[in-house]
Amino acid sequence: MLTDAPTPELAWSDALVLGYAPLDDVHEEFVEVLAHLKRCADTELSAALDAVITHAESHFALEDRWMRDTEFPPRACHIDEHAAVLQSAYEVRDLLKSGNTVATRDFAEALIRWFPGHATHLDSALSHWMFKRQHAGKPVVFRRTIAPR
């Protein structure tokens, strides 16, 4: 749900690192294409949205394949969430083709609000699962940007 509160900026930082490098790399790229969608001019919206969709299709297909190939236990809801985001993206693309730039801007803001929680709750479990399968342990992540208590 969108609110009148300003959308937080989304920039790659240690706070988003999960510890499984292949996943962190694809997440960093997602943050970059999403940041461009948020700040681009209306004349660039179509290309920027297409870049987000192209990235998301590849990104989600990669994660979905990892989950299926390794029989990741909670894969169903994670895969369903990816599918729902892509379906929304396709609907927004259709709206943009008819001239609705507001829907695209709202979608960018919704993705910016959605992604950190998705990464923290769903992708972190996948990251740990994949890392453990490769290295027989959980990843150690050092976060330089967390403020001291």
Q: 141 in a domain, yes or no? A: no
Residue 146 resides in a domain: no
What's the confidence (pLDDT) of residue 5? Answer: 60
To the nearest whole percent, how much of the chain has pLDDT over 90? 80
Per-residue pLDDT averaged across 87-104, rounded?
98
Report, as an integer, the average pLDDT of 78-106. 98
Q: Residue type at 60?
A: F
Residue 10 maps to a domain: no
Would the pLDDT of 11 be above 50?
A: yes
- The answer to whether position 122 is within a domain reads yes
**pLDDT confidence tier of residue 31, bands split at 50, 70 and 90:** very high
Residue 16 lies in a domain: no
Burial class (CB in 10 A: 0-12, 13-18, 19+), 136: exposed
- As a whole number, mean pLDDT of residues 4-28 equals 87
Give the residue numbers spanning the domain of 86: 40-135
147 within some domain: no
User: Average pLDDT in the 18-28 region?
Assistant: 96
Query: Using an 8 Å Cβ cutoff, are 49 and 40 in contact?
Result: no
In terms of pLDDT, which residue wins out, 100 or 7? 100
Confidence of residue 7 (pLDDT cuts 50, 70, 90): low
Structural domain includes residue 54: yes
Cα–Cα separations (whole angstroms), residue 127 to 16, 17, 53, 58, 68: 12, 10, 22, 17, 14
N- to C-terminal Cα separation, the chain:
31
139 — pLDDT class (breaks 50, 70, 90): confident
146 pLDDT above the threshold of 50: yes
Q: What's the CA gap between 99 and 112, in Å, rounded? A: 22
Residue 120 in this model has a pLDDT that exceeds 60: yes
Count how many domains the chain has.
1
- What's at 48, amino acid-wise? A
Q: Please indicate, yes or no, if residue 7 is contained in any of the structural domains.
A: no
Question: What CA–CA distance (Å, rounded) separates 63 from 23?
Answer: 8
Mean pLDDT of 52-77: 97
From CA 96, how far away is CA 106, in angstroms rounded? Answer: 12
